[in-house]
Amino acid sequence: MRIIPLKSGLAAAALAVGLTAAAPFTQAAGSVGATELFNGTPAGDTSYHFSEIQFLNGTTGRAAGNGFLIGTSDAGSSWQSIYKGTWQFAQLDFISNTTGWALAKSAAGGTNALIQTTNGGSTFTKIPTGGIALERIRFLDAKNGFGYTRAFAYRTANGGKTWTKIATPPNTRYAEFLNLKQGWALVVVPGFGYTLSRTTDGGSSWTTKLSVKSSEISGGALYVSGSEVWARFNGGVGMSQQSYSLYASADNGSSWRKVISQATAGGGPAPGAAAGIVKEGPASPGGHVSNLELVDGAAILGGFSPVGEQIGVGRSLDRGKTWANLKPIKGFENVISFTTKNQGWMADTSVSSPSLYSTGDGGKTWTKKLSIPADN
């Protein structure tokens, strides 16, 4: 078993201060290994596993899972326990080293709660959402942000204390807003497939920018950065295989490229009639998609194949004109976080092999930085 040095005896507030500093932590006296870090009984499950990672730069980041939050300020050479308790994290959204929000469950079968920290994650305060079961959040600053459920979009101007619904088209299944005016909505059209719409007036009006026919309708996702928009439309799923299509636009939806067109035996045809640049996504055969990162002009997509027992990424460095699926590594499920087009992190979020990896070459190669011991 590989033991990763961890810092003990440091409060999360000290972590926040240390993460802010230019220099990384020095190794603390009495540091412990991964076995001690993940001892005890995990929240809501029989074994610890990762569910989310977020890095603020190439050295500073956090990883979370069922009842724990850990952090590093030296690119994963050492890790510190920040939080251990009942919260089971689904999403992290830190805007600084001290201030952040998270979506987390207090019980495995419960719904997500919105929680906030101002001390780096040592403690969290639950923020009532008035019955809104948020599935995603994105804060622009300490006050302004957006929240999303399966069908609706909301905005807040007071750090999440109150939420105002944003008007979206009927049958919206995924929305993403850049600011109070500009947003996108992925809409399902029964009997047809999907449409993608854009607003420039905060939801008062919507314009359809793309229509994609699909025999199977199972949702998708949107990723937006400036005028660059990426949209994933899911087809069917079966035999542990996922069919989907990935489209890209570099001009706010005026023109589109179909980048990935993945058809599978279990999931059927890929949405949309046109051929993609490539016929498979990352970590195929039949790979599923985790999340996509838009950074430094690159689009980097995480993928995993339960059938092939591998995880990895694919990427485009030219806004969808070309695409390359990079060599995967052994694993079962993944989530990624990139701070530049070359510097990134990947977590195997499965119970079978929970591990954290880093890359300095855009995902061509990965180095394991931390594994949760099998006996925890």
Confidence of residue 39 (pLDDT cuts 50, 70, 90): confident
Can you spell out the DSSP letters for 186-245?
A: EEEETTTEEEEEEESSTTS--EEEEEEE-SS---EEEEEETTEEEEEEEEEEETTEEEEE
Q: Which long-range contacts (CB under 8 A, 24 or more apart) does 36-42 make?
A: 36/6, 36/8, 37/6, 37/70, 37/79, 37/81, 38/68, 38/372, 38/373, 38/376, 39/376, 40/84, 42/66, 42/67, 42/68, 42/376
- Percent of the chain with pLDDT strictly greater than 90: 83
- Asked if 94 and 56 count as a contact pair (C-beta separation under 8 A), the reply is yes
Token couple for 10: 């440091």
- pLDDT value of residue 159: 98
Q: How confident is the model over 169-200, as pLDDT tens digits? A: 999 999 999 999 999 999 999 999 999 999 99
* pLDDT, greater one: 47 or 52: 52
Cα angle for residues 35, 37, 43 (degrees, 5° grid): 105
- pLDDT value of residue 33: 60
- pLDDT value of residue 374: 80
- pLDDT value of residue 30: 31
Q: Is the pTM above the cut of 0.95?
A: no
Q: Which residues contact 78 (CB under 8 A, 6 or more apart)?
A: 4, 5, 6, 7, 25, 27, 31, 72
In whole angstroms, what is the distance from residue 310 CA to residue 295 CA? 24
Is residue 108 pLDDT above 80, yes or no?
Answer: no
Average pLDDT over residues 79-87: 94
Q: How confident is the model over 341-361, as pLDDT tens digits? A: 999 999 999 999 999 999 999
How high does pLDDT run on average in the chain? Answer: 90
- pLDDT value of residue 184: 98
Is residue 60 pLDDT above 60, yes or no?
Answer: yes
Token couple for 91: 């999403």
